[in-house]
Amino acid sequence: GLAGGFMVLGFGEAFLEQIGRELVDPYMAYLESYASRAGETVTLARPGSVAIAGMIGAGTATVSVLCLLLARYWQAALYNPGGFGQEFRALRYPGIPGIALLVAVLLVFSQGAELRTWAMIGVSPLMFAGLGLVHARARHRAWSSGVLALFYVAWFLFGAMQMLVVLLAVVDGWWDFRKRWGIAPGQSVAPPRQRPDEDSNKPDDNDQRDQ
């Protein structure tokens, strides 16, 4: 993501301005027309060349992670069915790297609107780790697909939900939620517990030998 952003910056100001005119400006004009339906004229600030380069870098980072996940899914489907789900639900950032990445994101975000798009490059890996944690919880608690669908709707619509997922990924690096839920390393869910009455109904090995 960072490499992609800096590479685009190297193409020059004129190249980024052309991208802004051909891609960003029409989208901003659509948002302005949609927001002006109430009768008030709305004018949105256009991003500069540095912000556009950050958008491209963040998009590159996200697409790269998605391509990696897709490739791992295909490999698991061929040679290890179910392995991709276990690996995705086990995604976890170690404590110190997670904190360092979050601090870097906050520092870049605080430098102004032009650099905020660059902060999204660091958010991307934490976001996927947080989503893996949510899927681990869903599998552990046997959530229905409808509950997960509602979660993704809320995640897509509300920025607060997205930040919560990122914070969960950082806290998980220190707290290790899966261990506290009883999920052993390498397992997608904790092994089911047998009820005492089920254990009592099982025939004893000595009884079977006597028969």
Q: 24-55: per-residue pLDDT in tens?
A: 778 778 777 877 776 677 777 777 888 888 88
DSSP state letter for 37: G
What pLDDT is stored for residue 184 in this prediction?
61
d(C-alpha 84, C-alpha 73), whole Å: 5
Residue pair 1/27 in contact by the 8 Å Cβ criterion? no
Angle CA(111)–CA(2)–CA(58) in degrees, nearest 5? 75
Q: What is the pLDDT averaged over residues 161-181? A: 92
Q: What is the pLDDT averaged over residues 10-23? A: 73
Structure tokens at 120: 């999204």
Q: What is the pLDDT averaged over residues 146-157? A: 95
132 vs 36, which has greater pLDDT?
A: 132
Which of these, 85, 25, 16, lies nearest to 56 by C-alpha position?
A: 16
Give yes or no for residue 103 having a pLDDT over 70: yes
Question: Using 50, 70 and 90 to split pLDDT, how confident is the model at 147?
Answer: very high
Percent of the chain scored above 90 by pLDDT?
A: 34
pTM above 0.85, yes or no: no
Give yes or no for residue 133 having a pLDDT over 90: yes
- Tens-digit pLDDT profile for residues 72-89: 999 999 998 888 999 999
d(C-alpha 50, C-alpha 6), whole Å: 9
Which of these, 105, 82, 108, lies nearest to 163 by C-alpha position?
A: 105
What pLDDT is stored for residue 154 in this prediction?
96
d(C-alpha 82, C-alpha 46), whole Å: 45
Please state the separation of Cα 175 from the chain's center in Å: 18
Please state the separation of Cα 152 from the chain's center in Å: 11
What pLDDT is stored for residue 135 in this prediction?
94
